[in-house]
Amino acid sequence: MAERVVIQAAPRTVLGKKVAQLRRNGRLPANVYGRGIDSQAVDIDAREFARTIKSAGLRAMIQLSVEGESSPRYVILRGLARKGGTGDPIHVDFFQVDPNIPIQANVPLRLTGEAPAVRDLAGTLLPGLDVIAVRCKPLDIPDAITVDLGVLNSFDVSLTVGDIAVPGDVEVLTDPAVVIATVNAPRIRVAAH
Protein backbone atom coordinates (compact mmCIF):
# COMPACT_ATOMS: atom_id res chain seq x y z
CA MET A 1 0.00 0.00 0.00
CA ALA A 2 1.23 3.48 -0.83
CA GLU A 3 2.55 5.69 1.94
CA ARG A 4 -0.12 8.12 3.14
CA VAL A 5 0.75 11.71 2.36
CA VAL A 6 -0.85 14.48 4.41
CA ILE A 7 -1.25 18.06 3.19
CA GLN A 8 -2.85 20.86 5.24
CA ALA A 9 -5.24 23.19 3.36
CA ALA A 10 -7.29 26.25 4.17
CA PRO A 11 -10.55 27.34 2.51
CA ARG A 12 -9.82 30.01 -0.12
CA THR A 13 -11.89 33.14 -0.62
CA VAL A 14 -9.37 34.87 -2.91
CA LEU A 15 -10.34 34.06 -6.50
CA GLY A 16 -9.47 35.17 -10.04
CA LYS A 17 -6.48 37.41 -10.68
CA LYS A 18 -6.12 38.20 -6.96
CA VAL A 19 -4.51 34.78 -6.37
CA ALA A 20 -1.14 36.31 -7.38
CA GLN A 21 -1.05 37.82 -3.86
CA LEU A 22 -1.52 34.32 -2.39
CA ARG A 23 1.46 33.04 -4.39
CA ARG A 24 3.62 35.94 -3.20
CA ASN A 25 2.79 34.88 0.37
CA GLY A 26 3.96 31.30 -0.27
CA ARG A 27 0.48 29.85 -0.71
CA LEU A 28 -0.59 27.77 -3.69
CA PRO A 29 -4.20 28.05 -4.94
CA ALA A 30 -5.96 24.71 -5.44
CA ASN A 31 -9.39 23.27 -6.17
CA VAL A 32 -10.91 20.08 -4.80
CA TYR A 33 -13.64 18.43 -6.84
CA GLY A 34 -15.10 14.98 -7.31
CA ARG A 35 -18.09 12.93 -8.30
CA GLY A 36 -21.18 14.16 -6.46
CA ILE A 37 -19.45 16.96 -4.54
CA ASP A 38 -19.25 20.70 -5.13
CA SER A 39 -15.89 22.10 -6.17
CA GLN A 40 -14.13 23.84 -3.29
CA ALA A 41 -11.38 26.45 -3.57
CA VAL A 42 -8.54 25.92 -1.08
CA ASP A 43 -4.95 27.05 -0.69
CA ILE A 44 -1.94 25.07 0.50
CA ASP A 45 1.62 25.86 1.52
CA ALA A 46 3.66 25.94 -1.72
CA ARG A 47 6.90 24.65 -0.12
CA GLU A 48 5.13 21.82 1.71
CA PHE A 49 3.43 20.79 -1.55
CA ALA A 50 6.72 20.83 -3.49
CA ARG A 51 8.47 18.73 -0.79
CA THR A 52 5.56 16.28 -0.62
CA ILE A 53 5.35 15.76 -4.38
CA LYS A 54 9.13 15.41 -4.67
CA SER A 55 9.22 12.65 -2.04
CA ALA A 56 5.90 10.88 -2.71
CA GLY A 57 5.52 11.43 -6.46
CA LEU A 58 2.69 12.72 -8.61
CA ARG A 59 0.64 9.52 -8.27
CA ALA A 60 0.44 9.52 -4.47
CA MET A 61 -2.84 9.25 -2.57
CA ILE A 62 -3.09 12.44 -0.52
CA GLN A 63 -4.93 12.95 2.73
CA LEU A 64 -6.04 16.58 2.47
CA SER A 65 -6.90 18.10 5.85
CA VAL A 66 -9.00 21.20 5.20
CA GLU A 67 -9.14 23.70 8.06
CA GLY A 68 -12.57 23.65 9.74
CA GLU A 69 -13.54 20.17 8.46
CA SER A 70 -13.82 17.27 10.90
CA SER A 71 -12.53 14.53 8.61
CA PRO A 72 -9.80 14.52 5.96
CA ARG A 73 -10.49 14.23 2.24
CA TYR A 74 -8.73 11.54 0.21
CA VAL A 75 -7.57 13.08 -3.04
CA ILE A 76 -5.31 12.37 -5.98
CA LEU A 77 -3.51 14.96 -8.05
CA ARG A 78 -5.56 15.52 -11.21
CA GLY A 79 -4.00 18.70 -12.60
CA LEU A 80 -0.87 20.74 -12.00
CA ALA A 81 -0.30 24.08 -13.73
CA ARG A 82 3.30 25.31 -13.75
CA LYS A 83 4.71 28.77 -14.42
CA GLY A 84 5.76 28.83 -18.07
CA GLY A 85 4.73 25.18 -18.37
CA THR A 86 7.79 23.77 -16.59
CA GLY A 87 8.51 26.12 -13.68
CA ASP A 88 7.14 26.31 -10.15
CA PRO A 89 3.55 25.12 -9.56
CA ILE A 90 0.98 27.93 -9.79
CA HIS A 91 -2.28 25.94 -9.41
CA VAL A 92 -3.31 22.44 -8.34
CA ASP A 93 -6.46 20.42 -9.02
CA PHE A 94 -7.25 17.61 -6.57
CA PHE A 95 -9.83 14.92 -7.37
CA GLN A 96 -11.59 13.63 -4.26
CA VAL A 97 -12.15 9.88 -4.22
CA ASP A 98 -14.37 7.67 -2.08
CA PRO A 99 -11.98 5.36 -0.18
CA ASN A 100 -14.52 2.51 -0.43
CA ILE A 101 -15.05 2.58 -4.23
CA PRO A 102 -12.37 1.02 -6.47
CA ILE A 103 -10.67 3.30 -8.99
CA GLN A 104 -8.29 2.74 -11.89
CA ALA A 105 -4.70 3.90 -11.43
CA ASN A 106 -1.32 3.53 -13.10
CA VAL A 107 1.35 1.98 -10.90
CA PRO A 108 5.08 2.09 -11.73
CA LEU A 109 7.05 -1.15 -12.07
CA ARG A 110 10.33 -1.42 -10.15
CA LEU A 111 12.73 -3.87 -11.80
CA THR A 112 14.98 -5.62 -9.26
CA GLY A 113 17.61 -8.32 -9.30
CA GLU A 114 19.83 -9.34 -12.14
CA ALA A 115 18.85 -11.32 -15.21
CA PRO A 116 21.06 -14.44 -15.51
CA ALA A 117 20.96 -14.08 -19.32
CA VAL A 118 22.62 -10.67 -18.96
CA ARG A 119 25.14 -11.71 -16.31
CA ASP A 120 26.11 -15.15 -17.68
CA LEU A 121 25.37 -14.92 -21.40
CA ALA A 122 26.37 -11.29 -22.07
CA GLY A 123 22.88 -10.37 -23.26
CA THR A 124 21.32 -6.91 -23.23
CA LEU A 125 18.28 -6.24 -21.01
CA LEU A 126 15.38 -4.67 -22.95
CA PRO A 127 12.79 -3.21 -20.58
CA GLY A 128 9.45 -2.86 -22.35
CA LEU A 129 7.01 -1.46 -19.80
CA ASP A 130 7.39 0.87 -16.84
CA VAL A 131 3.78 1.21 -15.56
CA ILE A 132 0.71 -1.02 -15.42
CA ALA A 133 -2.96 -0.17 -15.01
CA VAL A 134 -4.66 -1.54 -11.88
CA ARG A 135 -8.07 -1.30 -10.24
CA CYS A 136 -8.43 -1.23 -6.46
CA LYS A 137 -9.65 0.90 -3.57
CA PRO A 138 -7.78 4.23 -3.45
CA LEU A 139 -6.05 3.51 -0.14
CA ASP A 140 -4.79 0.15 -1.47
CA ILE A 141 -2.95 1.56 -4.52
CA PRO A 142 0.64 0.29 -4.30
CA ASP A 143 3.35 2.95 -4.69
CA ALA A 144 5.19 0.52 -7.00
CA ILE A 145 5.14 -3.16 -7.97
CA THR A 146 8.45 -4.98 -7.68
CA VAL A 147 9.39 -7.27 -10.56
CA ASP A 148 12.29 -9.74 -10.17
CA LEU A 149 14.43 -10.09 -13.29
CA GLY A 150 15.85 -13.43 -12.03
CA VAL A 151 13.52 -15.44 -14.31
CA LEU A 152 15.25 -14.11 -17.44
CA ASN A 153 17.75 -16.98 -17.66
CA SER A 154 17.84 -17.35 -21.46
CA PHE A 155 17.16 -15.35 -24.61
CA ASP A 156 13.91 -17.30 -25.21
CA VAL A 157 12.26 -16.12 -21.97
CA SER A 158 10.20 -12.93 -21.66
CA LEU A 159 8.86 -11.47 -18.44
CA THR A 160 5.18 -10.53 -18.96
CA VAL A 161 2.51 -8.75 -16.94
CA GLY A 162 0.95 -12.17 -16.24
CA ASP A 163 4.16 -13.23 -14.44
CA ILE A 164 4.08 -10.56 -11.74
CA ALA A 165 2.55 -10.94 -8.30
CA VAL A 166 0.29 -8.19 -6.97
CA PRO A 167 -1.48 -7.87 -3.61
CA GLY A 168 -4.79 -9.82 -3.49
CA ASP A 169 -6.98 -6.71 -3.39
CA VAL A 170 -5.39 -5.26 -6.56
CA GLU A 171 -6.74 -6.22 -9.99
CA VAL A 172 -4.33 -5.83 -12.92
CA LEU A 173 -6.04 -4.28 -15.97
CA THR A 174 -3.04 -4.38 -18.34
CA ASP A 175 -3.09 -7.34 -20.75
CA PRO A 176 -1.20 -10.28 -19.15
CA ALA A 177 0.62 -10.95 -22.47
CA VAL A 178 2.34 -7.53 -22.54
CA VAL A 179 6.11 -7.91 -22.19
CA ILE A 180 7.77 -6.15 -19.25
CA ALA A 181 11.34 -7.16 -20.11
CA THR A 182 13.34 -9.52 -22.27
CA VAL A 183 17.03 -10.15 -23.00
CA ASN A 184 18.61 -9.76 -26.46
CA ALA A 185 21.45 -12.05 -27.48
CA PRO A 186 24.84 -10.37 -27.99
CA ARG A 187 25.95 -9.58 -31.52
CA ILE A 188 28.90 -11.68 -32.60
CA ARG A 189 31.69 -10.02 -34.53
CA VAL A 190 33.49 -12.17 -37.02
CA ALA A 191 37.17 -11.28 -37.37
CA ALA A 192 38.47 -10.88 -40.95
CA HIS A 193 41.04 -13.51 -42.00
Q: Which 3 state secondary structure label does DSSP give 49?
A: helix
31 has pLDDT over 60: yes
By the 8 A CB rule, do 74 and 138 touch?
Answer: yes
* Percent of the residues in the chain that have a pLDDT greater than 90, as a whole number: 44
pLDDT digits (tens, 9 = 90+) for 1-22: 445 688 999 998 878 778 888 8
147 has pLDDT over 90: yes
Q: Which stretch of DSSP H or E encloses residue 55?
A: helix 46-56
Q: What is the pLDDT of residue 172?
A: 94
pLDDT digits (tens, 9 = 90+) for 84-135: 877 888 899 999 988 888 988 888 999 999 999 999 998 999 999 999 999 9
Q: How many helices (H) and strands (E) in the chain? A: 3, 13
Q: What is the pLDDT of residue 107?
A: 87
Residue length of the chain: 193
Tell me how far apart the alpha carbons of residues 63 and 72 are, in angstroms, rounded to a whole number. Answer: 6
56 has pLDDT over 80: no
141 has pLDDT over 80: yes
E-only strand ranges, the chain = 5-11, 27-34, 37-45, 61-66, 73-82, 89-96, 103-112, 124-127, 131-136, 145-148, 158-160, 171-172, 179-184
158 has pLDDT over 90: yes
Mean pLDDT, range 127-148, rounded to an integer: 89
